């Protein structure tokens, strides 16, 4: 993508953004500093099952608090870091995150939440903890109470962009480590900027890319994969079904919920598809990922919410749900089938138009069938000849 290629007439690259409504980075930074003044022990609480965007924005806030206020900040999280790329990000950038249950939040006098917000399903703050700072680009349902610095703006394609924006606009130079983290955070949340619909993502991306460590970026993106990854992949492909304009599959038991999203991204690339839906089970939960093409009236977030009875949601083109499996002993396969039927009904796909995506390894191919037909013809002909007719 070219530097000025956002196509919406707003200048990007190194010039100022010609948008009178652009978020005021100077004002937001001032509020940040005010909130942190006099504090000694800051904590940044990340989104549940932190993704690269959450990790990068956490690292960037940690860096800013050190650089501007001389404070040492810990990063806490719930859930796990599943995807191999994300684990490799932790490794190569030396990012240390502490499980939330090991931390006494009352010992910390400044709490920031990134890439999620109180009230969201992906925010698992311990009960009673009200954050001082929230930085998030996700849509918010209800107003937050008691947050001193609610930096929330859905125009940004990632939380990494929001924190990077504060740095770029206020001339706070990022370290190579922070720049590399932010580049990867923006990349993954915006699908290499392709999903970005604002001038800020591209601007911050380029600023940070110039300072980043390309070798580490490559190591993260080309991370080694455990054998388990291929087993789940094979299971997902073998069970995948194409119904009308939707591709769906059930992965069975997964080691981490990210596997579900990864499979949805892969299947969604199938030609002719308008929807993809993938599910997997981990413990008492069924995880669901939905992808949809951008079109009038299409809302993946709404579909996720409807089929999960409100325990899911997301954006127009991608969404997810975490559903408690029924406690009545229903087999996970049967429960998935229920969700599958609801999904097809919701997107109005014709169930009768269902076929498997792949064929079993020992199944006959079209070539095998042609070969057999030829064999039969030959033997019939030699029979005729020997009969002398
Ligand atoms: Mn994000």
The answer to whether residues 41 and 162 belong to one domain is yes
Distance between Cα 228 and ligand 1 center (Å): 26
Closest-CA residue to 322 (of 360, 284, 357, 296): 284
- Domains identified in the chain, total number: 2
Distance between Cα 52 and ligand 1 center (Å): 8
Distance between Cα 235 and ligand 1 center (Å): 29
The answer to whether residues 34 and 48 belong to one domain is yes
Distance between Cα 137 and ligand 1 center (Å): 7
Q: What are φ and ψ of residue 30, in 5° steps?
A: -60, -40
The answer to whether residues 144 and 195 belong to one domain is yes
Distance between Cα 159 and ligand 1 center (Å): 5
Q: What are φ and ψ of residue 113, in 5° steps?
A: -115, 135
Q: Is residue 10 part of a domain?
A: no
Distance between Cα 60 and ligand 1 center (Å): 14
Closest-CA residue to 149 (of 114, 105, 184, 119): 114
Distance between Cα 140 and ligand 1 center (Å): 13
Distance between Cα 186 and ligand 1 center (Å): 8
Structure-token pair, residue 7: 């196509």
Instruction: Name every residue whose Cβ is closer than 8 Å to that of residue 250 and which is 6 or more positions away in sequence.
Output: 236, 239, 278, 279, 280, 333, 336, 340
Q: Is residue 379 part of a domain?
A: no
pTM: 0.81
The answer to whether residues 52 and 190 belong to one domain is yes
Position 158 scores a pLDDT of 96
In this structure, are residues 49 and 109 in contact, taking their beta carbons and an 8 Å threshold?
no
Q: Please say which residue of 221, 238, 256 terminates a domain.
A: 221
3-state secondary structure the chain: CCCCCCCCCCCCCCCCCCCCCCCCHHHHHHHHHHHHCCCCCEEEEECCCCCHHHHHHHHHHHHHHHHHHCCCCEEEECCCCCCHHHHHHHHHCCCCEEEHHHCCHHHCCEEEEECCCCCCCCCCCCCCCCCCEEEECCCCCCCCCCCCEEEECCCCCCHHHHHHHHHHHCCCCCCHHHHHHHHHHHHHHHCCCCCCCCHHHHHHHHHHHHHCCHHHHHHHHCCCCCHHHHHHHHHHHHHCEEECCEEEEEEEECCCCHHHHHHHHHHCCCCCCCEEEEEEEECCEEEEEEEECCCCCCCHHHHHHHHCCCCEEECCCEEEEEEECCCCCCCHHHHHHHHHHHHHHHHCCCCCCEEECCCCCCCCCHHHHHHHHHHHHHHHHHHHHHCCC
CATH number at residue 343: 3.10.310.40
Position 7 scores a pLDDT of 38
Distance between Cα 122 and ligand 1 center (Å): 11
Q: Please say which residue of 195, 221, 247 terminates a domain.
A: 221
Distance between Cα 115 and ligand 1 center (Å): 5
Task: Return per-residue pLDDT of the chain as tens, 389 residues.
Answer: 333 333 343 444 444 555 678 889 999 999 999 999 999 999 999 999 999 999 999 999 999 999 999 999 999 999 999 999 999 999 999 999 999 999 999 999 999 999 999 988 889 999 999 999 999 998 887 778 899 999 999 999 999 999 999 999 999 999 999 999 999 999 999 989 988 889 999 999 999 999 999 999 999 999 999 999 999 999 999 999 999 999 999 999 999 988 999 999 999 999 999 999 999 999 999 999 999 999 999 999 999 999 999 888 888 899 999 999 999 989 999 999 999 999 999 999 999 999 999 987 777 878 888 898 999 999 888 888 777 65
Which residue segment(s) compose the domain that 189 sits in? Answer: 25-221
Distance between Cα 54 and ligand 1 center (Å): 6
Closest-CA residue to 5 (of 137, 188, 163, 203): 203
The answer to whether residues 234 and 214 belong to one domain is no
The answer to whether residues 165 and 212 belong to one domain is yes
């Amino acid at each position: 993508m070219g530097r000025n290629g956002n196509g919406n007439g707003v200048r990007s690259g190194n010039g100022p953004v010609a948008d009178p409504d652009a978020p005021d980075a100077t004002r937001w930074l001032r509020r940040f500093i005010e909130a942190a003044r006099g504090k000694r022990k800051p904590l940044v609480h990340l989104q549940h099952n932190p993704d690269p965007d959450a990790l990068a924005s956490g690292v960037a806030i940690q860096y800013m608090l050190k650089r501007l206020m001389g404070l040492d900040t810990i990063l806490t999280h719930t859930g796990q870091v599943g995807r191999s790329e994300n684990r490799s990000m932790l490794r190569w950038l030396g990012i240390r995150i502490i499980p939330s249950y090991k931390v006494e939040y009352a010992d910390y006098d400044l709490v920031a939440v990134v890439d999620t917000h109180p009230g969201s399903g992906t925010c698992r703050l311990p009960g009673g903890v009200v954050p001082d700072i929230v930085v998030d680009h996700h849509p918010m349902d209800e107003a937050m109470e008691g947050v001193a610095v609610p930096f929330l703006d859905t125009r940004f394609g990632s939380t990494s962009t929001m924190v990077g924006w504060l740095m770029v606009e206020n001339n706070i130079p990022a370290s190579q480590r922070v720049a590399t983290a932010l580049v990867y955070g923006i990349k993954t949340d915006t699908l290499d900027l392709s999903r970005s619909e604002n001038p800020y993502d591209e601007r911050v991306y380029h600023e940070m890319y110039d300072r980043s460590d390309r070798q580490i970026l490559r190591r993260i993106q080309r991370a080694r994969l455990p054998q388990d990854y291929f087993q789940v992949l094979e299971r997902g492909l073998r069970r995948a079904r194409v119904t009308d304009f939707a591709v769906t599959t059930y992965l069975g038991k997964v080691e981490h919920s990210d596997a579900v999203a990864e499979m949805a991204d892969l299947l969604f690339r199938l030609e002719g598809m308008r929807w993809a839906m993938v599910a997997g089970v981990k413990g008492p939960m069924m995880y669901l990922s939905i992808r949809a093409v951008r079109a009038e009236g299409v809302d993946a977030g709404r579909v996720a919410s409807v089929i999960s009875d409100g325990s899911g949601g997301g954006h127009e083109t991608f969404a997810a749900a975490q559903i408690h499996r029924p406690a009545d002993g229903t087999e996970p396969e049967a429960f998935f089938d229920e969700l599958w039927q609801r999904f097809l009904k919701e997107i109005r796909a014709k169930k009768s138009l269902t076929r498997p995506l792949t064929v079993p390894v020992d199944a006959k191919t079209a070539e095998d069938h042609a070969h057999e037909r030829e064999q039969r013809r030959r033997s019939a002909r030699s029979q005729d000849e020997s009969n002398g007719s």
